[in-house]
Amino acid sequence: MLVHICCSVDSHFFLEKLREKYPDEKLVGFFYDPNIHPYSEYRLRYLDVMRSCKRLGIDLIEGEYDYEEWLNAVRGLENEPEKGERCRVCFDRRLEVAAKKAKELGHKRYTTTLLVSPLKSQEQLKESANKVDNELGTEFVFEDFRSFGGTQLQSRVTKEQKLYRQDYCGCLFGLSQQRAKQEVIMDEMLCPITKQILPASIEERLALYTKRMELEDGGLEYTIVRKRFLNYRLLRGFVSIDNEVVPSYILSYSHLRRNFAKARIEEIIDGVGYANRDEIRVVTLEFINRYQKFNSLKELYFKGLDPELEMQVRFDIDGAYSLSPIVVLDKIPDRFTIAIDAVSYKDVKEELKIKDSNA
């Protein structure tokens, strides 16, 4: 039986239950989810599915990430709600590709782990599967493992297996609606031009779960803990001198009172220029090179400082709890204009803790 897989949280439990019910059936996993965006989130979910299938001894096939074709399929349905017409079209496409893959591999029967997701409509899935089966002559296996405490059991399995628990279905439009309802920034869609791995970003989670697999391969015990913290994203920022935008690097947690200010430097102390407006601080690349060497300001703003190092620079300049704008320029000017559009917000991130084998 070919099993279309959407994510490890659904697939691990679903595959365990399928194996119990069909002990003589060979199960083959098929990860086909072009709806997942951005691509880094897709890679993260596939990474966790690979780990899950490896633990279960299930062969896994990765389908094509044809995101643009998926976008064309749901065009015009961007504002549809969860379980609406966009979801139906999405199910039609993913189940059709899964059924074709089943036939290609010589399997008449197929199913999907979407059936166990509490956020998905089982009726929509059955309707999509019936349409596909009528066209291709395949057989969709419907199993309801959600009922009779199944969702609670699935949650326990997810925790025991340390699976990656995403908080959106993967769809860009569903995420947009979800974040708008929560009145929080859609930071999943923000990626800096620097090579920084920002706190609580998809890239940070991808690195964490990759490291997790390395620890497991090395036989090391670990745990994943969550912590609440104040996150930050710079949406837009620049500095201009004499009406000309100049190269600059704005440190995290920099906020202006009204997103825009004209300022002049009143004094310079220990390499830090103190401006007369909005508690602005200006330093040069020479100051930053005390912490990490960069050949030019351009190299700095394309590579970026490590976020922990940025916090150290901020602490050394302005102490704890500072939200003062701190900007790096080639030289400290007399007068300048600065614009910063940024948000700070409460967030949660995961951290990997290696257990002490002697404890």
Whether residue 306 sits in one domain with residue 159? no
pLDDT of residue 301: 87
Let me know if residue 190 belongs to a domain.
no
pLDDT of residue 356: 79
Element (H, E) at 51: helix 39-56
Whether residue 152 sits in one domain with residue 244? no
| Structure tokens, 216 | 């497991």
pLDDT of residue 355: 87
Q: Which of 163, 183, 203 is the last residue of a domain?
A: 183
pLDDT beneath 50, residues of the chain: none
Number of separate domains in the chain: 2
Let me know if residue 215 belongs to a domain.
no
Whether residue 112 sits in one domain with residue 177? yes
Give buried/exposed letters for 270-306 (b at 16+ CB in 10 A, else e).
eebbbbeebbbbbbbbebbeeeeebeebeebbeebbe
Q: What angle do CA 161, 165, 168 make, to 5 degrees?
A: 155
pLDDT of residue 344: 96
Whether residue 162 sits in one domain with residue 32? yes
**Strand residues in the chain grouped as ranges (E):** 2-5, 28-31, 59-62, 109-112, 139-140, 222-241, 244-246, 249-250, 260-269, 272-275, 281-284, 326-329, 335-354
Tell me the pTM: 0.92
Whether residue 264 sits in one domain with residue 175? no
Let me know if residue 145 belongs to a domain.
yes
Q: What is the CATH number of the domain that holds 100?
A: 3.40.50.620
Let me know if residue 193 belongs to a domain.
no
Whether residue 117 sits in one domain with residue 36? yes
Range of the domain at 259: 231-346
Let me know if residue 197 belongs to a domain.
no
Let me know if residue 15 belongs to a domain.
yes
What DSSP designation does 36 have? B
Whether residue 61 sits in one domain with residue 153? yes
Report the alpha-carbon distance of residue 325 to residue 271 in Å, rounded: 16
Let me know if residue 221 belongs to a domain.
no
Report the alpha-carbon distance of residue 322 to residue 258 in Å, rounded: 17
Whether residue 290 sits in one domain with residue 172? no
